[in-house]
Structure 1
Amino acid sequence: MANTQVPVVTVGPLGDGPVQVFCPKCNQTVLSKVDYTSGLLTYLFCGGLFLCGFVLGCCLIPFCVDRLKNAKHTCPTCKAELGVYKRL
């Protein structure tokens, strides 16, 4: 079974916010929907806070901050994944 890659044409680079992008699955230009997921930077901040002595729950704060998470861009029309912006 071959894994085919479909090129995605963006107006600007993928970032942490929504961008206008052409979806190759539904052939429309849409504003991407962004979902945030914990990534490497989130876990590094958590570990750093834990090592600094913030063990009373403060080390979990990075999991509540979207600016420390990866941004997954999806098409709001057909729900196809358009790309992921990784912090690290």
Structure 2
Amino acid sequence: MDATMENKMGLPPPYEPTAPSPAPPPSYFGDNPPPPAGLAVPAVPPRTTVITTPAAPAAPAGRPIKLGPGPTGASCPTCHKSIVTRVDFVPNTRTHIVSAALCVLAGCCCGCFVPYCMRSCKSANHYCPACKAFIGTYQHS
């Protein structure tokens, strides 16, 4: 059979010699090849950095900071500055319970929004105005 007859029969063309194999990938060592076998290389100890910081007590003598419902004077346990705290009021479990009780008692959903507008039903989160660190939470009793 010749080549034209093979093509008419749907057979593939004859294979041609393949190209030589590609070059090997570049070395992982860059321009510095590994040392020859048997050559002793002195070990270099790894560099370590030690950072020492003074321990920051949470409050003098381990006492918690007494916080109130509004901005309170305190010493920040993070930056150790004498500050007046910044207060954010956030809803808590008490807010949700009072809201649900008002909804049931009032018979409609109009009164359920009132606790979310009252500071006495929310927790007061205190933050340092200098370093923005969280100081603590005050919850009305």
The AA in structure 1 aligned to 2:66 is: P
Paired with 2:111 and 2:94, the residues of 1 have a C-alpha distance of 16
> Which residue of 15, 20, 24 maps to 2:68?
15
Paired with 1:59 and 1:38, the residues of 2 have a C-alpha distance of 13
1:71 alignment partner, SS class: strand
| Bigger strand share | 1
Runs of 4+ in 1 over 4 A off after TM superposition: none
The AA in structure 2 aligned to 1:7 is: A
TM-score by length of 2: 0.52
1:65 aligns with 2:65: no
Alpha carbon RMSD of aligned pairs, Å?
Answer: 2.2
The AA in structure 2 aligned to 1:31 is: V
Whether the 8 Å contact between 1:41 and 1:87 is mirrored in structure 2 is: no
1:80 aligns with 2:125: no
Identity %: 29
The AA in structure 2 aligned to 1:22 is: S
Partner of residue 30, structure 1? 83
Paired with 2:68 and 2:114, the residues of 1 have a C-alpha distance of 22
Structure 1 residues not aligned, in runs of 5+: none
| Count of aligned pairs | 83
2:106 alignment partner, SS class: coil
Query: Which has the larger displacement, 28-37 or 55-64?
Result: 55-64
Paired with 1:83 and 1:46, the residues of 2 have a C-alpha distance of 25
Structure of higher CA gyration radius: 2
The AA in structure 2 aligned to 1:51 is: V
